[in-house]
Amino acid sequence: MIRKNFNNAKRIVIKVGTSTLTHENGQLNLYRIERIIREISDLHNRDIEVLLVTSGAIGVGSTRMGLKKIPRTIPEKQALAAIGQGALLHLYEKIFAEYGKTVAQVLLTREDMDERIRYLNATNALLAIINMNVIPIINENDTVAVDEIKFGDNDTLSAMVATIVNADLLMILSDVDGLYDSDPRVNKEAKLLNEVNEITVNMEESSKTRGTKFSSGGMLTKLKAANICMAAGVPMVIANSEIENVIFKIINGDSLGTVFVPKEEKMHARKKWIAFASVTHGKVIVDEGAEQALLKKGKSLLPSGIKEVEGDFERGMIVAVCSTKGYEIARGMVNYNAFQIKKIAGKKTSEIEKMLGEKDYDEVIHRNNLWIKN
Ligand code: GLU
């Protein structure tokens, strides 16, 4: 049972969603917020490092402005995030201060993860805050993040944070009890799953429900987060924030919510970035021989196995490695740019120099820079 280890967790990421922070009418649920902050502060007093990922900026901003629901246009949402984020942090700052805790606001976008240097900078900043005995309060920078530079939901953001700081546990506190074997709103017989070792396509399909009117996630984004955590080696729990002392109970190993059990080994730091943080800038399509060599034999990707190249990417960027059937089998950092790979595709390693006039690497993607999807 993995739950009994939670008692030894030294670094925890806790994510609270808009539905936890607010009542159904959008007003702040002060009682619940205070309870959660008290629990977090007490964990901190026990020398457990806590990082809080909070939603609610857009929701709180909307309520402040007297709106009945979140507006549709992106600029309006950006503006409301700016209004709400300030209000939200003010509240956290005030209540945490009552327990003698200092907090730090960290606002991230997808772009901060995308480039390796920015990713390392973000990681270092978070670790420095924790080392100062301060509690980072993290949200997406919704005011500047639009579309392609957006995580889009804080479940994914919290999984990324848990991964980059190497957390021992991620808790997602929500208005649901956990993951059910079918949609409990439709099927009264639905059973809560206590432990999940593998996320199936079926689970994803039956989780395509919407969140509440003030939040953006649903079960699907939680499964996406679980996928990231399981692959990166971080246990994750989804539980209902309505439960009294929910955080303490999870730490105690009580059997509530759903726990997602990670694979045994923790992933190497660079591979984590390749797998979850970076975005892909193109594709290389490989033949069956190369596919087998990558998946079964632990080999690097050589030019000879490449059939096609798509996209216009530079050396050092991350590309998707796809089978001839079109699905992605791996991701990796390329040693050559798209133009060069097109030239050497299908050729032997010994021919690289002749084709390109130089040869810095034998491999198009070295094994150490390759992440194999399951
Ligand atoms: N970042 C958004 C906010 O603070 C919330 C995203 C989410 O609920 O997942 O309003």
Is residue 273 very low, low, confident or very high in pLDDT (cuts 50, 70, 90)? confident
Considering the entire predicted model, what is its pTM?
0.84
CB 291 within 8 A of CB 329: yes
93-118: buried (b, 16+ CB within 10 Å) or exposed (e) per residue? eebbeeeebebbbbbbbbbbbbbbee
Q: How far apart are CA 198 and CA 182, in angstroms?
A: 16
Is residue 244 very low, low, confident or very high in pLDDT (cuts 50, 70, 90)? very high
Q: Is 58 in the pocket of ligand 1 (CB under 6 A)?
A: yes
Distance 337 CA to ligand 1 centre (A): 37
Interval 169-197 mean pLDDT: 89
Percent of the chain with pLDDT over 90: 68
Max mean pLDDT range (39-48, 106-115, 259-268, 354-363): 39-48
| Phi, psi angle pair for 77, to nearest 5° | -65, -40
Q: Which pLDDT value is given to residue 213?
A: 43
Q: Which pLDDT value is given to residue 63?
A: 92
Is 3.40.1160.10 the CATH classification of the domain at 2-271? yes
Q: Is 216 in the pocket of ligand 1 (CB under 6 A)?
A: yes
Q: What residues are paired with 328 via a beta bridge?
A: 322
Copy the structure tokens of residue 129: 């805050």
pLDDT in tens, 322-341: 999 989 999 999 999 999 99
Largest Cα separation within the chain, whole Å, is 71
Instruction: Name the residue ranges covered by the structural domains of the chain.
Output: 2-271, 280-372
Is residue 116 very low, low, confident or very high in pLDDT (cuts 50, 70, 90)? confident
Distance 344 CA to ligand 1 centre (A): 45
Average pLDDT for the chain: 90
Q: Is 217 in the pocket of ligand 1 (CB under 6 A)?
A: yes
Question: Which of these CATH numbers, 3.40.50.2300, 2.30.130.10, 3.30.70.1140, 3.40.47.10, describes 280-372?
Answer: 2.30.130.10
pLDDT in tens, 298-318: 999 999 999 999 999 998 899
Given a cut of 80, whether residue 148 has pLDDT beyond it is no
Question: Which amino acid residue places its CA nearest to atom 6 of ligand 1?
Answer: 153
Q: Which pLDDT value is given to residue 209?
A: 58
CB 204 within 8 A of CB 228: no
Query: Could you identify the residue written with the tokens 């040693």?
Result: 335
Cβ partners under 8 Å of residue 76, min gap 6: none
Q: Which atom of ligand 1 is nearest to the CA of 55?
A: 4
Q: Which pLDDT value is given to residue 212?
A: 45
In one-letter notation, the amino acid at residue 142 is: D
CB 142 within 8 A of CB 83: no
pLDDT in tens, 209-229: 544 444 455 788 999 999 999
Least confident of 75-84, 123-132, 202-211: 202-211
Percent of the chain with pLDDT over 70: 96
Q: How far apart are CA 168 and CA 109, in angstroms?
A: 23
Q: Is 77 in the pocket of ligand 1 (CB under 6 A)?
A: no
Q: Is 215 in the pocket of ligand 1 (CB under 6 A)?
A: yes
Q: How far apart are CA 368 and CA 333, in angstroms?
A: 9
Least confident of 43-52, 85-94, 232-241, 258-267: 258-267
Distance 64 CA to ligand 1 centre (A): 16
Q: Which pLDDT value is given to residue 210?
A: 41
Q: Which pLDDT value is given to residue 217?
A: 56
